[in-house]
Chains A and B, each alone.
Chain A
Amino acid sequence: MTNKDILLEVIGDAGERFVPELTGKKKKHSVLKWSALGGVCAAAVIVCVIVLIKMNKNESAISPYVNLPQIGNSNTKSGTDKINPTIRFGEMGFEGLMAYDISELDTPNPWNPDLKLSSLPVYRNLAYNDFGEMVYLSEEQIREIAKNTASALKVDVIDTKITYVKDFEQGEVPDEILKSIYRIDVNCSDNTTITVYGDGQIRIEFERNTLPSGYNFSHNSTSKEEAQKVMDYLSDKYGSLLHYDNALCFSIADRSFSGVENRSYYVYDRSDEPVQSILNYNLSFSKFAPDDNGDLLCIWLNNPLCVSEYLGDYPIISVDEATEQLMNGKYFSSVPGDYIRNGRISKEGIAKIELVYRNNKVEYYQPYYKYYVELDSAAFNMADGLKNYGIFYVPAIDSEFLEEYKYFGEY
C-alpha cells in the first residue's frame, strides 16, 4: 500500500470530534436487492401494484429523448450474432428476498407464460465497455437531453458542468473512453439539478419539492393505498417529463428482518403490445424517491434503448426447458450453494418464475428466466415464519445462439 493510501485511511480514523455532520441533502436509496449476511438477514417483500392509466395531457411538451433513436418493436429481423449471457455479480451478500409467503410478492411484470412467446429482441448496449464506464452520447446529445428535461420541468438553466472520464479515471483506459463525457450536471432555477449521464440516464434532484398536504411519501411509513395516491399525483404532475402514453405506476415494499417496510416507487409506459411492454417495464422505467421529510428528492429516468443497437429477435426456450436447466445446476446466481435446501434445487422449491431483462451495466439487453427459490430457512436467523427466496437466472435465448459460457451457481 502506498503512503497516500495509508494517509487516506488515517484521515478516515480522524477523531470523531472533527468529522462534520452532514446536514441538508440526504440521499436515501431504496433497496430493491437484498443481501443476506450471516445471521443478520435482509427483507420480506411486499409488492403493491398500483395500476394507474393516464393519458399524457401535455401534448405540446417534448420528450427529453426526442432526437435519439426510440427503438420499438417493429421492423423485426432474426438475430444471428452469438450472445454472451454471463452475469457478473457483486461480492457482498447475495440476491434474495424474504416474505412470509410468495403470494406477498406481486409485480406488474407484463410477462406471463400464457403469452407463449417464441422469440424476443436482444440489444447490444452501445455504452458498454470492459472498463465499466457507461459512455456513448456526444456532448451535443447530452446537452439536448438536459435542455429538453429543463423545458419539461419549466426551469431555467443557470450553469452546466461537464465531467469527462479522464477527470477521475486512471490506469490503462483507452483514450477514446478517457475523452468521453461521463456526465453533465445542469444547475437550474428552483435549486433543481439535472444530471445526464453518457448512457442517457437522467437524474433530477430537487432542493425542496414538497408535496401538498394529504400525501404521505416515504420509504418506511407509507401504506400501499397512500403510495397509490402519491404516484397518482406525481405521475400526473410530471406527465410532460415522463412522456408516457399509458403510465402504469407501482410500488414495491421490501421489509427489513424486523418488519419495517422500505418502499420504492416506479412508473413505466404500458403498451398494448406485450413485447414492448416487457421492454418498457424492465428497461425504460422511471423511479421517484422521497427524502426524509416526505418531499420529492429525485427522479430517475431510464431509456437504455436509446443507446443500443437492435441485434434481432432470438428464439427463446420454454419455461419448462429453462426449469430443467435450473434443476440441473445450469444457472447464474449469487446464492451460495450451502443455502440451497438439500444442496439441489427441486421443482417444489421454485416459488415464482418471471421473465426479465437485466439492466445493470450489461453488455447485452437480453431475456432471462428469473427464479425465486425457497432457501433453507435453518441457515438464517429470521423471524418465525419468514422464508428466504434466493434469485436464480437461466438465459432465455436458445443455446444455439449463445456463446460458450460457464455456469456458476455460487460465489
Chain B
Amino acid sequence: MEDLHIIELYWQRDESAIKESQTKYGGYCSTIANNILHSEEDSEECVNDTWLRAWNTMPPEKPSRLAVFLGKITRNLAIDRYRRDRSQKYGGGQVALCLDELGECIGEDTPIEDRLALKELMNSFLSSLPDKNRNIFLLRYWYMMSVAEIAKRNGMSEGAVKMVLQRVRDKLRAYLEKEGVGV
C-alpha cells in the first residue's frame, strides 16, 4: 500500500493503518531497534510501541516520508530504553560506540542549551556533504548500523568506511567549533 494511503488510514482513525504499517515497515523498524538494543525480544516491544505512538501522533502529523517518520519513533524509543536500562548492559548494540565516536566532534565544557539551533546547524552541515559521505554518516549515527554492515551495503571495505566516518567527524568538529557549539 502506498504511504499516502496508509497515512490517510491513520487520519480516518481506521485501525487497518496499524496492520499496513506493520506489514510494510515492521522489518525496517525491527532493524533499527535491533541495531541499538541487540535483543530480539526488546526490539519487538519497541516496534510494537512504535505503532501506538504513530496512532497517537497522526493526526495531526502528516509525514512526507512515512518510513523515516516511523523509523525515528522506533529509534527514539530504542535509545530511551537503552538509556533507561543501561545498567542491564545491552550486548552488541551500537549506541555506546556511536556515542564514543561522536564525543570526538563536540566538547563537554559548555552544555548545549539551544537544541533547535544545533538541529539547524546539523541540517546545514549535512547538506554540505557529498551524498555518499552523508549516507555513510547517517547509516552509522541515524540507523546505528555497524561499520561491517555499512561496508557490506556499500560494497566497500571496513577500513574505507572508517576513513569516511573519521573525515566527516573531523569536518563536523571543525564546523561546530567555528559555530561556537560545545567548545
Given A34-B48, A90-B45, A7:B138 Cβ within 8 A: no
When C-beta atoms are compared, the residue in chain B nearest to A173 turns out to be: B89
Which residues of A sit under 8 angstroms from B115, Cβ to Cβ? 6, 9-10
Check if B85 is an interface residue, CB within 8 A of chain A: yes
Question: Which one, A3, A6, A20, A292, contacts B107 given CB within 8 A?
Answer: A3
Check if A194 is an interface residue, CB within 8 A of chain B: no
Pair A37/B52 contact, Cβ less than 8 Å: yes
Which residues of A sit under 8 angstroms from B55, Cβ to Cβ? 40
Count class of interface residues, chain A: 35 or more
Which residues of B sit under 8 angstroms from A161, Cβ to Cβ? 148
Given A27-B31, A132-B88, A182-B91, A11:B142 Cβ within 8 A: yes
Pair B148/A6 contact, Cβ less than 8 Å: no
Question: Which one, B89, B102, B107, contacts A169 given CB within 8 A?
Answer: B89
Check if B103 is an interface residue, CB within 8 A of chain A: yes
Which residues of B sit under 8 angstroms from A7, Cβ to Cβ? 102, 105-106, 112, 118, 182
Pair A19/B142 contact, Cβ less than 8 Å: yes
When C-beta atoms are compared, the residue in chain A nearest to B99 turns out to be: A4
Q: In whole Å, how far is B115's beta carbon from the nearest beta carbon of chain A?
A: 6
Check if B162 is an interface residue, CB within 8 A of chain A: no
Question: Which one, A24, A40, A92, A133, contacts B153 given CB within 8 A?
Answer: A24
When C-beta atoms are compared, the residue in chain A nearest to B113 turns out to be: A6
Which residues of A sit under 8 angstroms from B105, Cβ to Cβ? 4, 7
Given A12-B72, A35-B48, A91:B85 Cβ within 8 A: yes
Which residues of A sit under 8 angstroms from B42, Cβ to Cβ? 90, 92
**A38-B148 Cα distance, complex, nearest whole Å:** 39
Scoring B residues 8 to 49 as 1 if CB is less than 8 Å from chain A, else 0, what string do you get?
000000011011001100111011001000001111111111
Which residues of A sit under 8 angstroms from B31, Cβ to Cβ? 22, 25-27
Pair B40/A4 contact, Cβ less than 8 Å: no
Which residues of A sit under 8 angstroms from B103, Cβ to Cβ? 2, 4
CB interface residues, A 351-373, toward B, < 8 Å: 360
Which residues of A sit under 8 angstroms from B94, Cβ to Cβ? 168
Q: In whole Å, how far is B84's beta carbon from the nearest beta carbon of chain A?
A: 7
Which residues of A sit under 8 angstroms from B89, Cβ to Cβ? 131-133, 169, 171, 173
Which residues of B sit under 8 angstroms from A114, Cβ to Cβ? none
**A331-B152 Cα distance, complex, nearest whole Å:** 47
**A133-B38 Cα distance, complex, nearest whole Å:** 11
CB interface residues, B 102-127, toward A, < 8 Å: 102-103, 105-108, 111-112, 115, 118-119, 122-123, 126-127
Given A7-B118, A14-B122, A33:B52 Cβ within 8 A: no
* Chain A, interface SS category: loop
CB interface residues, A 8-57, toward B, < 8 Å: 8-22, 24-29, 31, 33-35, 37-38, 40, 42
**A292-B43 Cα distance, complex, nearest whole Å:** 19
Pair A3/B93 contact, Cβ less than 8 Å: no
**A40-B34 Cα distance, complex, nearest whole Å:** 22
Q: In whole Å, how far is B165's beta carbon from the nearest beta carbon of chain A?
A: 13
* Chain B, interface SS category: helix
Which residues of B sit under 8 angstroms from A31, Cβ to Cβ? 44, 48
Question: Which one, B18, B71, B93, B143, contacts A40 given CB within 8 A?
Answer: B18
Count class of interface residues, chain B: 35 or more
Which residues of A sit under 8 angstroms from B18, Cβ to Cβ? 40, 256-258
CB interface residues, A 154-192, toward B, < 8 Å: 161, 163, 165, 167-171, 173, 182-183, 185
Question: Which one, B22, B102, B119, B134, contacts A4 given CB within 8 A?
Answer: B102
Question: Which one, A17, A29, A90, A258, contacts B30 given CB within 8 A?
Answer: A29
When C-beta atoms are compared, the residue in chain A nearest to B63 turns out to be: A16
Pair A42/B19 contact, Cβ less than 8 Å: no
Q: In whole Å, how far is A17's beta carbon from the nearest beta carbon of chain B?
A: 8
Q: In whole Å, how far is B59's beta carbon from the nearest beta carbon of chain A?
A: 16
Which residues of B sit under 8 angstroms from A170, Cβ to Cβ? 96, 100
Which residues of B sit under 8 angstroms from A262, Cβ to Cβ? 22
Given A3-B108, A11-B138, A22-B31, A92:B45 Cβ within 8 A: yes
Pair A4/B15 contact, Cβ less than 8 Å: no
Scoring B residues 135 to 159 as 1 if CB is less than 8 Å from chain A, else 0, what string do you get?
1001101110000100001000000
**A26-B94 Cα distance, complex, nearest whole Å:** 18
Check if A209 is an interface residue, CB within 8 A of chain B: no
Question: Which one, B63, B75, B76, B138, contacts A18 given CB within 8 A?
Answer: B138
Q: In whole Å, how far is B76's beta carbon from the nearest beta carbon of chain A?
A: 6
Given A35-B45, A40-B55, A260-B22, A8:B141 Cβ within 8 A: yes
Check if A142 is an interface residue, CB within 8 A of chain B: no
Pair A258/B19 contact, Cβ less than 8 Å: yes
Pair B139/A20 contact, Cβ less than 8 Å: yes
Give 9 CB contacts A-B under 8 Å. Answer: A13-B119, A18-B138, A37-B48, A183-B92, A185-B148, A256-B19, A257-B15, A260-B22, A260-B23
Binding site for A on B (CB under 8 A): 15-16, 18-19, 22-23, 26-28, 30-31, 34, 40-49, 51-52, 55, 63-65, 67-69, 71-72, 75-76, 79, 81, 83-86, 88-100, 102-103, 105-108, 111-112, 115, 118-119, 122-123, 126-127, 134-135, 138-139, 141-143, 148, 153, 182
By Cβ-Cβ distance, the 4 closest A-B pairs, closest first, are: A28-B27, A92-B45, A132-B89, A26-B27
